[in-house]
């Protein structure tokens, strides 16, 4: 059974993603967004995940329309990469909330500010690097997300 406290908690994955989106729209840089989210009562872990996963979700929504596919897993940091330990995006509530927000904004046609999120994503950097080398990116490489 879900507790009333949990239902009323304003620090849900959906709320942290929306708030991170709002802060980015103000032109605030990623490290400052994390600090502001922490000041608003979000943990550093959740704030950092929101910043990272928001960018990833927007990039995926943008590039999937070009036919690129993305992995179901990621490495949660360089140490995890070295140990071969990865996590599923489907098991990350903050990523799922970020993806829902990105898809909703796309459906609503509110994508005028989306590029600022895409260009800070690991997905975009990998795709841009592949294209700059004359390669055809697939988007399917597992990424290392530092939180």
Round to whole Å and give the CA distance between 66 and 140.
Answer: 13
Round to whole Å and give the CA distance between 76 and 91.
Answer: 12
- The residue written with tokens 């597992």 in the block is 142
Structure tokens at 36: 């502001």
Tens digit of each residue's pLDDT (9 = 90 or more) over 34-84: 999 999 999 999 999 999 999 999 999 989 888 888 889 999 989 999 999
Query: Could you tell me which residue, 8 or 91, shows the higher pLDDT?
Result: 91
Residues 6+ apart with CB under 8 A from 55: 117, 118, 120, 121, 122, 123, 124
Under the banding of pLDDT at 50, 70 and 90, the label for residue 11 is: confident
pTM for this prediction: 0.83
Round to whole Å and give the CA distance between 147 and 131.
Answer: 27
Domain positions in the chain: 4-144
Query: In this model, does residue 101 exceed pLDDT 90?
Result: yes
Beta strands of 28-114 (E only): which ranges? 73-75, 87-88
Structure tokens at 3: 């507790």
Average pLDDT over residues 7-27: 85
Strand order in the sheet with 87-88: 87-88, 73-75, 143-144
Tens digit of each residue's pLDDT (9 = 90 or more) over 116-141: 778 888 888 888 888 898 888 766 66
Structure tokens at 72: 């179901």
């Amino acid at each position: 059974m879900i507790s009333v406290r949990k239902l009323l908690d304003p620090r849900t994955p959906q709320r942290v993603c929306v708030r991170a989106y709002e802060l980015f729209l103000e032109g605030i840089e990623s490290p400052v967004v994390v600090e502001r989210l922490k000041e608003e009562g979000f943990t550093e872990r959740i704030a950092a995940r929101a910043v990272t996963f928001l960018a990833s979700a927007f990039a995926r929504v943008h590039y999937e329309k070009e036919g690129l596919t993305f992995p179901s897993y990621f490495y949660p940091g360089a140490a995890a990469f070295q140990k071969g330990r990865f996590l599923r995006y489907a098991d990350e509530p903050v990523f799922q909330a970020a993806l829902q927000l990105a898809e909703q904004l796309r459906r609503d046609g509110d994508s005028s500010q989306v590029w600022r999120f895409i260009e800070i994503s690991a997905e975009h950097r990998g795709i841009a690097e592949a294209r700059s080398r004359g390669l055809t990116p697939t988007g399917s490489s597992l990424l290392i997300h530092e939180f």
